Amino acid sequence: MFIVQNYTIAILFCVVTMLCWGSWGNTQKLASRSWRYEYFYWDYVIGLLIFSLISAFTLGSSGEQGRSFLADLAQADMASLQSAFLGGIIFNAANILLAAAIAICGLSVAFPVGIGLALILGVLVNWFGSAKGDPWGIFTGVALITIAIILNALAWRKAAASSSGKIPARGIAVAIAAGIIMAFFYRFVAASTDLDSFAMPAPGKLTPYTAVVIFAGGVLVSNFLFNTIAMRRPVAGGPPISPAGYFKGRPATHLVGILGGMIWCLGQSFSMIASGQAGAAISYGLGQGATLVSALWGILIWQEFKGAPRSAHLLNLGMFLLFIAGLASLILAGA
């Protein structure tokens, strides 16, 4: 299987993760013009599973190092399988809430609040679970990103006050809930692998490629519960919808959702592959720099801060600068 051999390549993989995790939300925005996010999310989950299998049977089964996907799956112990599967369930609970937050308040707010919070808590959870990297650099990065999130929240507050005077607090609350839950999924997936050696993982442990497939299985199975609840009791508002409505969507609309899931899973796969060199905390934290990417999409492309006062734009600029400084601190912490 393909294995990253040095820290520089691992950081490049984390940058790809950041771009993927920060960009999949655009597919939801595109589909939302004619498609409820609950329907979109079924396609998203299907795309996630499809890409995990493609990755496992190609990069995960080629080359001379490590175990191939099927061989790795055959020797896996129940504890590792359960850990990766549980990571998928936790992620799905969080990501459905994040999708709802995007529907309520847009990319430029839902991601900085939800994913920014997930970054802060997730870096700490993963570092204490598998300490790798300079703790001062990691905690400094987390502190800078915390301040960046606060600036974004203030910018959003000013923009909302200038436009209508009403603040959709429900959207922020949903994003916060998503971020808290999201912080824990990666630790379970990472724990199912042997971060010290992907080439010769301990017996029973999974390669990153197998871990992502089992993770995707957890997402798919749990979606029958979580998304069914979301369809009957929509978090983002609106009337309940019937599962039968999903089959009335146009093929192009379904493909947009599937593409969104594949984009996100590409990022997850690269993050797991990079974690052997970078460590789980840094690999996860840099990937969740997706906040910057998504905020840029929301502000520049979707015009979510159009008409906002100058002070809101200055606060967003401060958010970007602090986020970049925080991510740089994380990179240096692992160098």
The whole-number pLDDT of residue 112 equals: 80
Please answer whether residues 266 and 259 qualify as being in contact, where contact means their C-beta atoms are separated by less than 8 angstroms.
no
The whole-number pLDDT of residue 164 equals: 58
Q: Span 194-214, mean pLDDT?
A: 93
Contacts of 244 (CB under 8 A, 6+ apart): none
The whole-number pLDDT of residue 244 equals: 93
User: Which residue did the predictor score with more confidence, 178 or 153?
Assistant: 178
pLDDT in tens, 18-38: 999 989 989 998 998 888 999
Specify if 98 maps to a domain.
Answer: yes
* pLDDT of residue 60 exceeding 80: yes
Region of poorest pLDDT, from 72-76, 88-92, 132-136, 249-253: 132-136
Q: How many domains does the chain have?
A: 1
User: Using CA atoms, how far apart are residues 21 and 185, in angstroms rounded to an integer?
Assistant: 15
User: Which residue did the predictor score with more confidence, 123 or 85?
Assistant: 85
Most confident range, picked from 73-87, 108-122, 317-331: 73-87
Neighbouring CB atoms inside 10 A of 305's CB total 22
Specify if 260 maps to a domain.
Answer: yes
Considering Cα of 219, then 224, then 226, then 228, what sign does the dihedral take? Answer: positive
Domain that holds residue 150: 7-334
The whole-number pLDDT of residue 225 equals: 96
Most confident range, picked from 50-59, 135-144, 191-200: 50-59
3-class SS at 49?
helix
pLDDT in tens, 241-299: 999 999 999 999 999 999 999 999 999 999 999 999 988 888 888 888 887 888 788 88
Specify if 2 maps to a domain.
Answer: no
**Per-chain mean pLDDT for the chain:** 89
Region of poorest pLDDT, from 57-71, 206-220, 301-315: 301-315
Please answer whether residues 183 and 118 qualify as being in contact, where contact means their C-beta atoms are separated by less than 8 angstroms.
yes
Specify if 248 maps to a domain.
Answer: yes
Specify if 235 maps to a domain.
Answer: yes
Q: Span 301-328, mean pLDDT?
A: 87
Specify if 1 maps to a domain.
Answer: no
Specify if 312 maps to a domain.
Answer: yes
User: Using CA atoms, how far apart are residues 256 and 31, in angstroms rounded to an integer?
Assistant: 7
Specify if 155 maps to a domain.
Answer: yes
The whole-number pLDDT of residue 163 equals: 66
Please answer whether residues 175 and 105 qualify as being in contact, where contact means their C-beta atoms are separated by less than 8 angstroms.
yes
Q: 166 falls in which pLDDT band (50, 70, 90)?
A: low
